[in-house]
Structure 1
Amino acid sequence: MKYKDIVYNIKAKNFEKIYLLYGKEHYLIDNAIKLFKESLNESMIDFNLDILDGKEIMLDQLLSSIETLPFMDERKIVIVKDFELLMKGKKKNFSDKEEKIFAEHLENIPDTTVLVFAVYGDIDKKKSIVNKINKNGIAYNCEKISDMDLFKWTRKRFDENQITIENAQVMYFIESTGYKDKNNEFTLSDIENEIKKISSFAGKDTKVTNEIIDRLSQKKIENDIFKLIDYIGEKNSQNAIKILNDMINEGESVLGIFAMINRQFKIVLQIKELLNKGMNNKSIADKLKMSLFVVNKSIKISKNFTESMIIDMLNYILESDYKIKNGLMRDTLAIEMLVSQYCQRKVS
């Protein structure tokens, strides 16, 4: 079954007993949850909708929620987020016996209950509970959507914002996000935020051009900063200066670039500390509330810079910021000196 079929059936109130929605495309999961909520009688929703923390829920609480009859509605919807029995790793709240009891219970979900598991990431497909869900309901991997669906979805979002944009620019915008790159962590939620930014800037009277897209694409700016820092770390002054000049020519201010470099290196310092404590990439992303893409890039950056080099660079940026604002140094000279100086520094 395709995602659009799941959406169609929810809207038509043609429900399965059990759903498992998982994967990295959180927008699709949250959109389905929104539709489940909208299917209920709004005036009685407090009685007929349970949203449970799957990392904390106990067996008796979960079974009680599932078995409770709906009140003045046809059904009750139980949504369990990040249920521990579906995820990899050790169990905290369920014994092996309780896991078996619950797996068997999935064979007998009441007709008046719709049970929805929402896992914001990967699941352990070897678990018996996953097999039970596949047998008695639907399990769907919310991964990146196809090129055609992505175009239609993006086009619709621009239209909803009453923005004038040609199909060629919609395609250019999609390409600029890097969404279609399998290794890129950019999601539909990120694309929606970028569309809102462009819509707010352009308004109803301005036609969106490639230049506007380039100017407002945060992802492009972030990627340029990553590239600039990478080149500095690799001691590649030629490419570092080139990308720096490109950013300035595209309208980025030197103080803005300094601020983004400053922010990125502060993130790198945080990540270095957490890595030293033994945390993995995913745990770091969750703790710092950052995308895994940013964390992975920051870890790569951290290998080319010692802590003392980073602190030294942050102090240089702070000092340069003061000198620029007080007319003591040209901004372009300050940032060119940063590139030149740290392209010569060796990691010891």
Structure 2
Amino acid sequence: MKELTKQIKEKSFHKVYLLTGDEPYLVLQAKHMLKNAMIKEGDTMNYAAFTDGKIDLNTLQELAFTYPFFSEKRLLLLDGTGILKTGKDEFVSIMENMPETTCIIVCEPEVDKRSKVYKWIKKNGYVGEFLKKNQTEKVLLRWIAALLGKEKKQIRENNARYFLQKTGDDMFQIKNEIDKLIAYAGDREEITQADIDAVASGEVQDKIFDLVDAIARKNKAAALSYYNDLILLKEPPMHILFLIVRQYRILHIIANMRGLRKPEDAIAKTAGIPRFAIRKNEQQLRGYGEKMLEKCIEECIQIEEEIKTGRINDQIGVESLLCRLML
């Protein structure tokens, strides 16, 4: 983002930009930044977007070779078209020969870095790779503070960490919840934990975590209470079962990989959770041994099979599972 901001400030643009990676929020922000810097709002004469997989290379070439009309740039956006796989030599030829006044932005979540198209863009254009693994807890905490700071709001670090535990590391989710917190706080400057509890919508995952925690403590009343809360939140029983299994698998992965002394980045990637969530899950592990975790996963799989084969109703099945897990 710093490099793109610098290019925009200096009006020093490349002919081709490839925006990629598994952090879609940052890809979207980068795309909008570049578009707004090159093309005036509402300028349909000098802007065209391709968003489906069947892109006509002849049409693309015609547009790419057309000079802009009362504008410094003509911008073509290729968003999720798969052209890096399908375009190959023809697309490279278009990029090589189009005038300097044309700019192409390619947005693809995944790319083959061995391909001729990727290597050409890497050498002659600009590749922006936006990855979740780079959005560490520290980075996200700074971002949260910056979002709030723009609205003259502030938050204590411990409350910001608490907020992240509820929202997770999805940047779209974080931004939406921050906007809600700003509106909820009104004229107050500080965002408190009470504000987060009142507004942040991490309810379902929190309830699942608490439910699994209650199972570890053999607290049947608490487990059924959390389950009933999820039903009131209109969560389908099969989705609740899926989330329970997911939580057990996360715990199992953390336990195994910790035993093998794997680094936290590898654990987070394998478990499919942000790195900063490892600590919270490790606290829950204290109530579970490896054999108990394996037994819980096996019980879940068995109930899922019984539900899918029609031997038991989904709601009754999940409720009986909770009881069996606490025997």
Inter-CA distance 316–242: structure 2 relative to 1 (3 Å threshold): closer
State whether residues 268 and 301 of structure 1, in contact with CA within 8 Å, keep that contact through their aligned partners in structure 2. no
Aligned counterpart, 1:281 = none
Aligned counterpart, 2:104 = 115
Inter-CA distance 146–238: structure 2 relative to 1 (3 Å threshold): closer
SS class of match (2:34): helix
Aligned counterpart, 2:232 = 259
| Alpha-carbon distance, 1:170 to partner | 2.8
Aligned counterpart, 1:91 = none
Q: Distance in 1 between matches of 2:113 and 2:171?
A: 25
Return the match for 1:60 from 49, 58, 76: 58
Aligned counterpart, 1:272 = none
SS class of match (1:238): coil
Inter-CA distance 20–8: structure 2 relative to 1 (3 Å threshold): same
Return the match for 1:212 from 192, 195, 205: 195
Tell me which amino acid in the other structure corresponds to 1:108: N
Q: Distance in 2 between matches of 1:300 and 1:104?
A: 55
SS class of match (2:235): helix
State whether residues 228 and 240 of structure 1, in contact with CA within 8 Å, keep that contact through their aligned partners in structure 2. no
Aligned counterpart, 2:145 = 155
Aligned counterpart, 2:204 = 222
| Alpha-carbon distance, 1:168 to partner | 4.0
Aligned counterpart, 1:169 = 159
- Deviation per CA, 1:259-297, whole angstroms, max 9, x where unpaired? 34633626879xxxxxxxxxxxxxxxxxxxxxxx79xxx
Q: Distance in 1 between matches of 2:67 and 2:191?
A: 52
Q: Distance in 2 between matches of 1:160 and 1:313?
A: 51
Q: Distance in 1 between matches of 2:194 and 2:302?
A: 33
Q: Distance in 2 between matches of 1:13 and 1:108?
A: 22
Task: Within 5 Å, give how 1:16-165 maps onto structure 2.
Answer: 16-42=14-40, 45-86=43-84, 94=86, 99-119=88-108, 121-144=109-132, 145-165=135-155
SS class of match (1:115): strand
2:238 matched to 1:238?
A: no
| Alpha-carbon distance, 1:305 to partner | 3.4
Q: Distance in 1 between matches of 2:161 and 2:50?
A: 39
Q: Distance in 2 between matches of 1:174 and 1:140?
A: 26
SS class of match (1:305): helix
State whether residues 44 and 71 of structure 1, in contact with CA within 8 Å, keep that contact through their aligned partners in structure 2. no
SS class of match (1:205): coil
Q: Distance in 1 between matches of 2:10 and 2:25?
A: 21
Tell me which amino acid in the other structure corresponds to 1:217: A
| Alpha-carbon distance, 1:210 to partner | 2.5
- Deviation per CA, 1:111-135, whole angstroms, max 9, x where unpaired? 001111011x221212110011111
Q: Distance in 1 between matches of 2:307 and 2:171?
A: 36
- Deviation per CA, 1:74-105, whole angstroms, max 9, x where unpaired? 11111101131335xxxxxx4xxx62222233
| Alpha-carbon distance, 1:16 to partner | 0.8
State whether residues 7 and 32 of structure 1, in contact with CA within 8 Å, keep that contact through their aligned partners in structure 2. no
Aligned counterpart, 2:180 = 197
SS class of match (2:155): coil
Q: TM-score, normalised by structure 1?
A: 0.64
| Alpha-carbon distance, 1:228 to partner | 5.9
Inter-CA distance 147–268: structure 2 relative to 1 (3 Å threshold): closer
Unaligned runs of 5+ in 2: 243-271, 274-296
State whether residues 224 and 243 of structure 1, in contact with CA within 8 Å, keep that contact through their aligned partners in structure 2. no
Unaligned runs of 5+ in 1: 88-93, 180-186, 248-253, 270-292, 318-337
State whether residues 44 and 72 of structure 1, in contact with CA within 8 Å, keep that contact through their aligned partners in structure 2. no
SS class of match (2:303): coil
Percent sequence identity is 23
SS class of match (1:39): helix
Q: Output the aligned Cα RMSD.
A: 3.7
